[in-house]
Structure 1
Amino acid sequence: MICALLSSVCFGTASVLQAVAARAATPGSGGGVDVTLLWRALRQWRYVVGLGLDGLGFVLEVVALRTLPIYVVGAALAASLAVTAVVASRLLPVRLSRVEWTAVAVVCAGLALLALAAGEEGHRTGSEALRWALLATAFGVLLVGVVGGRLPDRPRALVLGLGSGFGFGVVEVGVRLVDGVDVADPVLYAVLVGGGAAFLLLTSALQRGSVTTATAGMVLGETIGPAVVGVVWLGDRTREGLGWLAVVGFAVAVAGSLALARFGEAPEAELSGDLADHARPKAP
């Protein structure tokens, strides 16, 4: 659980740095998902530091997924928005309202309930069909990017955010299924494709869409689906008689995270000093 929470801290802090860098990157031409955006964002030092934190967070996430049910880790990762909100309120000229501070407390309460109710990690290895379905889902995320990138701004942000959530969800489930490096295992490629596609879709959504909508879609995509897979196909369980508490804790943590969705990025209108020198105005 400590690893899951530390992973959330890494991802939440990285979000602040990457969101500013994504907006500061030179806009591409044309519509759709900008496949060269990641390369341009890498020229921003904040994005590079954010990627370093993401890497550390991923290592901690792997450790957590190897010892905890997926629904616990998923809720902890969604709680990274609470971390982002707190970090933004300390490092940037962004202030949390009373409602948002309450949402942070709600997220913490939900995670505490999950920690009390969580049972052992399931030990099922998953069927061959599940492994190929995971790979198909990963490539489906790329298709979502192609289709969603051509939509108008409002639905575009939701679709890209939801698609990125599915991609991160593929990684969560895939980490549980991977057993060493086997080039014949479809799960290995599912993790690589799903993770890469998720980063691309989320970065594009942060740069040119409604961040609140995109982040909310990401939270839903990366929590609900993987939690269901963990319980139904991989054998994740709760402590005896505490299944209801786990459901309540999961719902509370995710709901609190959704209330903080606007902190998927730091609003440029409130940036100042050095950050403002590098930030670009939002697209209407």
Structure 2
Amino acid sequence: MKPTGSPRTACSRASSASLLRSSPLASSLTGALFGALLFAGGCSTRSAVSYAGEVGGELVHPEQVEELPAMPPDYQRLGSADARCRIVWQREFTPEWLSDVDCSEERLTRALAERAADVGGSALVEKRCYTAGGSRPEIVCQADIARSGGDDAELRYPSTPSATPRASEAWSIRVKYTREREDRRPARPAHNVSELPEQPVSHVRLGSIVTTCKAGCTEHGARSGLASVAARIGADAVVRGDCVRQADGWICTGVATGYEVDPRLDPRAR
């Protein structure tokens, strides 16, 4: 095993204008949405997790990483990890990191598990999460990463990777949401947001969404970001979602829609 450190790196805010002008997507965008894409500058890969410690061969998939309250005697400590995100309160994003728009202990824990698996760990030990105050509060999760010290024969990295995008992709994805209605709707889980080819007659447009990354994300991750943003603003569906490749990254666009009369807010619609 070899020691390593992975401090977070600053991300440049270089404009993606030159990429967009050569894109087939540009001709189909409205002026407002095209402007949003120009504003949401690309970025190089930004580390989701700060890690200091040793690196070994991969043993398990991130979803198989255990959470343990204390270090077992037969485990080897590899190092320590720290993941954090800033809480975004506003309902219109110009632009923000997806990791901040969808800032939660769940996403931070998944990012820690991904890093643990990447460095050869099989467990997060003594994980603790807390909220740091201030004008822009942060959620912080920290843990020690450990590796089983016993027989590793049963710890096999699965041949079929998870269909879910890596949580850590959110630290490389910029999002912009431009609202078109003033009503506020309660947030919902992202898995409850549908992706539809056209807007249902029962729905109204809530606003436009753009997700973009210069590197460090997959198409699936950028597209899933549309649903994460839609969920945050209380939309029921993303309509006409589209993604195009731009150099080493992706740009995705979509329209957030919801019931004209939200059943969660108006009993007449239930």
TM bucket (normalised to shorter chain) is under 0.3
| Higher RCO, Cα 8 Å, sep 6+ | 1
Pick the structure with greater CA Rg: 2
Select the structure that is richer in helix: 1
What is the TM-score when the length of structure 2 is the normalising length?
0.25
What is the TM-score when the length of structure 1 is the normalising length?
0.24
Select the structure that is richer in strand: 2
